Structure 1
């Protein structure tokens, strides 16, 4: 009986936690206007479709092993269109691609710019999902876009090649007994390779440290959802033809738009999952509470304390290292870092590490409160009761207001309060060890 109650209690806790996770994800998607972002990317994708296809097919053409994959890529694009419209659409797109191969240098540059605009739009959407306000330097963004333009087609080619091989095995006479297993295997391979592509996008594109485990969760979720979307879309096209009766010769347009929109919803949903996982873990540790304003001061002191320790040791602090050592969300940490940077208290090095920019002995607590937007002013015409509270808090601050941050951070009592931000049972290392200095990834 006791075991049954314990099991029921655990199941109830799991159900409650799952519901909380789904609710958290839903609120985040609404806040980021996920559907609007997907619609915008769908429109941009239409403009960049031919340039991206031309680049993808050109990259695959450089590798003879992917000759069959190129044809399958063309076929995969046309498979989503109605049967009576696919031939006409194929002829038009093939005509566009043939024209692209005969363009002048200016035309090629125009194609590349259009493709880069799509990647820039994707980058902007992911920045919205991750709450990123500071863009990468232009050179870094170009390198990321170039990697996606070259590696993306290769991943697609590998996926199509492996899928073709698995299906061929499944249909051969020697494996008819286990043919269904090979079909399932080919689908699994397709999911895995799609997941690799999503993981790379979620891990590389955002200008923020993304934990590989979070990118893996979001990437696999998006890959599974995409496979389900392909199955549902194929089922719809095969069994429901009412759209053709309504739109007639234009039936291919709404079908293709619907596919593009659903695809981008899935891509952004995977990004939302990846971005929200660290926030969810912090929120769960706080029992669902939000302490963004309440911890702003102690968070800033903790950051300055760690950077001060690193400064004394002649080292710097990595963003990811700092994030893992503090029970705050990436957005909360970045907001605080942004305020401190604007006040020229900290700065980023050329290698994207954090370090102090000013002597903390020459900065007082009152200035820090001003930077963080936490300074209380009794001189404002507040109600009498509110003014009394402000005056009481000012009195409690007393000697700390004019004290330098360096002296405060050397205060054992204050050091103890900032130490409470550290996760239980874990050290909060600031000094970089030899492996990190060599450039080891977080």
Structure 2
């Protein structure tokens, strides 16, 4: 047991750090204008959504093992990561992808460029938050982007297959532990979101990020994402103003607003991770060197 005096000493040592952390986190978010960056990323996401999905499905169709995964993957993504109007978004997106697949080679190449544009913007935004001073070589950058385009669909397909297998196992275990499968199925989307945030915060920045800090930032981002997802669903279903104003096109502003909020959560988690590195990283990181006004006086 730790004595009261020991606890008091620990608290007095960490209290200044907590205050510095709050100031750095707030000033970071204000200086980086994460709301503006989130709006830019939301626009690029909607512009790149159809090309990215088309490339993903095209690559997955090249592997017979993933032939039966596409419908499961679509159902998993739209039911867990699009809080409202998932059926309408799914229908429109499927139609758009089907139309895009009938384009010629030049059209498909242009869509691939647009898909790479999304990855490039995410990469530049996160590296700007991390204040990385060195840029990757163009060849190395292109190789990473291409790897995301090609290996990403296979990893998604593999994860869906594994999730389906584990869901079947959970259903079997439900006979002995009632409610276990329901709990597991609710946990899988959150776990997938958490792993996505960890990968973003550790691998995208062109600098070393401590796993402990990336995990902490991913936990915060995951919790915020789950809360905003439920809150957004309640808001949209409780206030039917979108349906009255936009009618059948209501899905467009709803989707844009949800993508915008999602990017705010992603950038908040990135700022939180960087702020942890500034205060608890053991040494002053590049994030506090530029600009100087981020450092609390």
TM bucket normalised to smaller: 0.7 to 0.9
- In the alignment, what sits opposite 2:285? 329
Q: 1:368-379 counterparts in 2 under 5 A?
A: none
Q: Can you give the 5+ residue segments of structure 1 that lack an aligned partner in the other structure?
A: 286-326, 336-442
- In the alignment, what sits opposite 2:45? 45
Instruction: Decide whether aligned partners of structure 1 residues 208 and 60 sit closer, same or farther in structure 2, where only a CA change above 3 A counts.
Output: same
Instruction: Provide TM-score, normalisation by structure 1.
Output: 0.56
Instruction: Provide TM-score, normalisation by structure 2.
Output: 0.80
Q: Can you give the 5+ residue segments of structure 2 that lack an aligned partner in the other structure?
A: 292-297
Instruction: Decide whether aligned partners of structure 1 residues 245 and 11 sit closer, same or farther in structure 2, where only a CA change above 3 A counts.
Output: farther
Higher share of residues assigned helix: 2
Q: What secondary structure, in the 3-state scheme, does the structure 1 residue paired with 2:274 have?
A: helix
Q: Provide the alpha-carbon RMSD of the alignment.
A: 3.3
Distance 1:237 1:334 in 2: 40
1:68 deviates by: 4.8
Structure 1 window deviating more from structure 2 (125-134 vs 54-63): it is 54-63
1:240 deviates by: 4.4
- In the alignment, what sits opposite 1:277? 276
Instruction: Decide whether aligned partners of structure 1 residues 227 and 68 sit closer, same or farther in structure 2, where only a CA change above 3 A counts.
Output: farther
Contact kept, 8 Å, 1:198 with 1:222, in 2: the verdict is: yes
1:330 deviates by: 2.5
- In the alignment, what sits opposite 2:144? 144
Q: What secondary structure, in the 3-state scheme, does the structure 1 residue paired with 2:131 have?
A: coil
Q: What secondary structure, in the 3-state scheme, does the structure 2 residue paired with 1:328 have?
A: coil
**Higher-Rg member (1/2):** 1
Q: 1:89-168 counterparts in 2 under 5 A?
A: 89-167=89-167
Contact kept, 8 Å, 1:81 with 1:255, in 2: the verdict is: no
1:105 deviates by: 1.5
1:243 aligns with 2:234: no
- In the alignment, what sits opposite 1:26? 26
Contact kept, 8 Å, 1:166 with 1:183, in 2: the verdict is: no
Distance 1:280 1:205 in 2: 21
Distance 2:169 2:271 in 1: 37
Distance 1:161 1:242 in 2: 39
Instruction: Decide whether aligned partners of structure 1 residues 265 and 157 sit closer, same or farther in structure 2, where only a CA change above 3 A counts.
Output: farther
Distance 1:237 1:76 in 2: 21
**What's the CA shift string for 1:338-370, capped at 9, x where partnerless?**
xxxxxxxxxxxxxxxxxxxxxxxxxxxxxxxxx
Contact kept, 8 Å, 1:155 with 1:197, in 2: the verdict is: no
- In the alignment, what sits opposite 1:211? 210
- In the alignment, what sits opposite 2:294? none
Instruction: Decide whether aligned partners of structure 1 residues 51 and 179 sit closer, same or farther in structure 2, where only a CA change above 3 A counts.
Output: farther
Contact kept, 8 Å, 2:83 with 2:230, in 1: the verdict is: no
Distance 1:9 1:176 in 2: 51
Contact kept, 8 Å, 1:198 with 1:219, in 2: the verdict is: yes
1:162 deviates by: 4.3
- In the alignment, what sits opposite 1:202? 201
Q: What secondary structure, in the 3-state scheme, does the structure 1 residue paired with 2:208 have?
A: coil
- In the alignment, what sits opposite 2:251? 252
Aligned pair count? Answer: 288
Distance 1:179 1:237 in 2: 33
Contact kept, 8 Å, 1:38 with 1:268, in 2: the verdict is: yes
Greater RCO, CA 8 A, separation 6+: 2
